[in-house]
A and B are shown apart, each in its own frame.
Chain A
Amino acid sequence: MAKPKLHTLKEGNRYFLLGNHAIARGALEAGLNLASAYPGTPSSEILDALASSARELGFYAEWSVNEKVALEVAIGASYSGLRCLTAMKHVGVNVALDALATIAYTGVSGALVLVSADDPGAHSSQNEQDNRILAKFTKIFCLEPYDAQSAMDYTIKAFEISEKFSIPVMLRTTTRINHARGDVLVGVLPKSGMKSEFKKNFSRYVCIPANARLLHRELNKKLEEMESYASESTLNNIRLNGSYGIITSGVSRNYVREAIDALGAEVSLFELGITNPFPKQLVKRFLSKIDRILVVEELEPFLEEQVKALAGDIEVSGKDILPRDGEFNVEIVKNAVAGFLGLEIERVKREDISPVPRPPVLCPGCGHRALYYALKKITEKKIYSGDIGCYTLGALEPLKTMDTCLCMGSSLGIAQGFYHAGVEEDIIALIGDSTFFHAGIPSLLNAVYNRANILLIIMDNRTTAMTGHQPNPGVGVTAIGTKTVAVDLEELVKALKVDFVAKVKPSDLEASIEVIKNAIDLSGVRVIIAEEPCALMGRKLGLWRTPPKVTREKCEGYLCRGCRACLKIGCPAVSWERGKAKMIPELCTGCDLCIIVCPVEAIGRDEND
C-alpha cells in the first residue's frame, strides 16, 4: 500500500488511521521540526510516514544509523529550540539509553518526544521489556495512549508537556496501539517555520561531574513539579462507581471497559494517561474512596507496585491474578475482573484446534536462502552466531543455520566470545547490512584489535528489508529520497584492517561455496560480503523471471525416489503434490535455486525461457 501523505488530510475530517500514522499526524499538528528514527517493528511506520511529508512541510527527517544516534540528533536539535520526535522499538531504547539516562539532567530547550513502541506478546521482537520502567529510571514523563485517536492527541500533548517542563516525554505505545487502526478526527496543521538557536550554557549542557551533581538535584526538584502536573492532568480519568476500583492504562483501558460492560459490573475506574511521574496525589484521592483495588496492566507490575506503596490497608490485586507476560485481550481481563468482583461468568467451552503452523519464511527468490543452502553444503563442524533481520528466519526448519540470536549486532561479539572460550568448531557470524551499520562496526573493530579468529558474513540485501525496505548508509538514498553517499562495505571493512575480505553473489551457488570454503580454511578476522538485492525489490526492478518447469517423469526417478531436495531449501514456491514436486507460479521469482539443488535435473528451463 502506498505511504500516506499525512499533511494532505483535511482538518475536521475523520480518517481510518493506523496508530503509527496517528502519532505522525499528531507530530505534524504539533509543529514538528525534526524527526529521526531507526526502523524496528512496531515503530517503523511513524518515520516512514513523516519522511513522506517532510519535503512539503519543510521539516527535517532522517533514518539514523541506530537509535542512539537518532536520539542524539534529536537532542542536538532540541537544544537548539526545535520540536523533535524520535521513534524506535522498545529494545531500540536500550541502544539509546546511554543518551537517555542523562538527557533529563540537561533538559531540552525546544521539545523532545521519544516514541517507544513496546511489543507485549513479542510479535516481532526478542523480548517483552516494559519501557515504562525506563521512563521512571531516566526521570522523564511517560504518556500512554490507548487507541488511534488518543495516539494523535497524546502526541500533541507530549510536545506541549516537553516544552513546558523542558524535559523529554516518552510516548509509550504497544503493538496494539501502533498496528491498530481507528477512526481519527484530525485537526489543524500549523504554519511551519524552523527558527533554531543554541544558547550556550556551560553549567547546563556540559555534563562534567561538577555540573551533573547540581543538575541531578535540580532534576529531582523538577520531578515533584512534574508529579503535581500529572496529578492535575486531564489525561487521567476517574469514574467513581462503588467501593471496588480498577486502575489501568494503555491498551488495557479498552479491555477493562468492554469487560465491565459485558459483566454489567459496578466498579470505580481510574484510567491513567500519564504513568510517569506516577500521579501520587490523585491516586491517593482515588484510594480514599475505595476498599479494594485491581490493577490491570500488561507486562510488569509498574503501576501496581506504586499503588501498593500508597494503599495502606487497602487490598491490591494485579499480577496475582493477571499474567506478567504476553498481551491481554477482553477474555483475560473479563475473567480477572469477574474474579475480583466475585461474579460468576459463563465459560463457553469451545474447541480450539491448532492446525499445521505457518510461521513466516524467507520469501521466494531470497538471496539469504541460497547463502544458507551454501553453508549447509559445507559440512564441517561450525557454530553460527546469528543476528536480527529477515535472515533470522534461517534459524527455522528446514534451513536451521543459526545457533544464537540475542540483540542487534551481537553476532560478532558472541562469535568472539566463542573463539576466546576456545571452542573447537569454526565460528561464523552472520549479520545483515543494516544491522552491521547499526551495531556491527565497533564489534568488528574489536575482533581485529583483539585478534579473534572468526568468519563474518555480511548478508547484504541492499536495504532494511524486515521493517519495510527503509534505506541505510549502504544504499545511497536518504529517508526523504535524496541521493547521498553509498558506503562501500568492502572498503569499510578493509579500512578496519580485517585479514581477508571477499565478495560473493549467493545465487551463484558453486562460486559462493568455493569462496566460503577457502575463507573457513584461513585464519584471522575474515569477512565475506554476500550481496544479493532483496527479492521483493527485485520485483520492482523487473528481475523476476518465469518459473522453471518440473519434468514429472524425472521426479521420483530411480536415483532420487522423490528425494524432496527441492523442499529442503524451504521455498514457499515449491510444493509437493502426489509424490512429486510442483511449482506455484504466483509465488515463484525464477531464482532457480531449486534447479540447482535437484540431483536428477527434474526441474529445469526451456532454452528460450
Chain B
Amino acid sequence: MIKNILIAGVGGQGILFISNILGNAAIVQNLSVRASETHGMAQRGGSVVSHIRIGSARAPLIPHGEVDYLVALEPVEALRYLSYISKKCRALVSTFRIVPSAAQSGIGIYPPLEDILENLMRYAEVFPVDAYSLAKRAGNPLTGNTVMLGALSTMEDFPLRQDVLKEILLSQVSPETADINLRAFELGRIAVKK
C-alpha cells in the first residue's frame, strides 16, 4: 500500500510544517514514510511543494498520475500539479488567492477561482476550503495550513489517524498557540464534512 500526498503552496504558508506533522504521524502509526521538500526558497514567496509518500514507496518524489491527496494552500498552485493527480485523487483547495508578482506586472494571467476549480474537477474530487476565513475565525490568519490539515484528516481512506495528527500538532506548536491551532484543525475538519 502506498498513499501519496502532495502539498503545494507559496513560501511562508507553512507547508513544511504540515508535511512534518504527516511524516511524524506515519512514524507513530508504525508506517514507512518518504518525503521530499523545497528548501531555501521557503520564505521567499516562491512556489513550494512537498511530496509525502506513506507505505512501501522508495522514491522521494511521487510519480506522475499517482497523487491520492492534493492539498493546495493557494488555488493556482493546485494547477501546477495536474499531471501528478491520480484518477481517484481528492483535491483540497484553499480558496484564498495570492497573486504572484508576475501576474501583477502583466507577465502572466491569474485565472478566476471558478476556472481553477472547474479545471481541477475534470480530474479530481474537489473540496474548496475557505481556509483564510476559518483561520481568522480560529484566532490567527496564519493557521490556514492547520485548517487544511484538519480537512485532509477527514478524507476517505486517509491513512493517518486524527488523534495522532492532533497530538503531533500540539507537540509542534507553542503552548500559547495550541488552542488556536486545535480550533483551526477542527474548523477544517467540519468544513469538508458531508
Contact = CB atoms under 8 A, between A and B. Distances in A.
B92 interface: no
Interface string B98-129: 11111111011111000000010000000000
Interface residues of B, number: 56
A16 B26 contact: yes
A183 B58 contact: no
Contacts of A262: 63
Interface residues of A, number: 63
Contacts of A584: 98
B111 A42 contact: no
Given A179-B37, A182-B34, A398-B101, A254 B58 contact: yes
Interface string A544-579: 000000000000000000001001101110111000
A567 B141 contact: no
B105 A398 contact: yes
20 contacts: A41-B39, A147-B60, A176-B36, A181-B37, A182-B60, A183-B23, A253-B58, A329-B61, A330-B59, A348-B65, A350-B64, A359-B46, A360-B45, A363-B43, A536-B43, A567-B104, A570-B105, A574-B104, A586-B141, A586-B142
Interface string B23-45: 11011000011111111110111
Contacts of A129: none
Contacts of A179: 36-39
A329 B64 CA distance: 9
A467 interface: yes
B30 to A, nearest CB: 8
Contacts of A334: 63
Interface string A230-268: 000000000000000000000101110110001000000
A466 B40 contact: yes
A360 B33 CA distance: 28
A5 to B, nearest CB: 14
Contacts of B17: 1
Contacts of A376: none
Interface of B: 10-12, 16-17, 19-20, 23-24, 26-27, 32-41, 43-47, 57-61, 63-65, 76-77, 79-80, 82-83, 98-105, 107-111, 119, 141-142
B46 A358 contact: yes
Interface in A350-365: 350-363
A258 B102 contact: no
B33 A331 contact: no
Given A352-B82, A356-B102, A183 B61 contact: no
A391 B149 CA distance: 34
A386 to B, nearest CB: 17
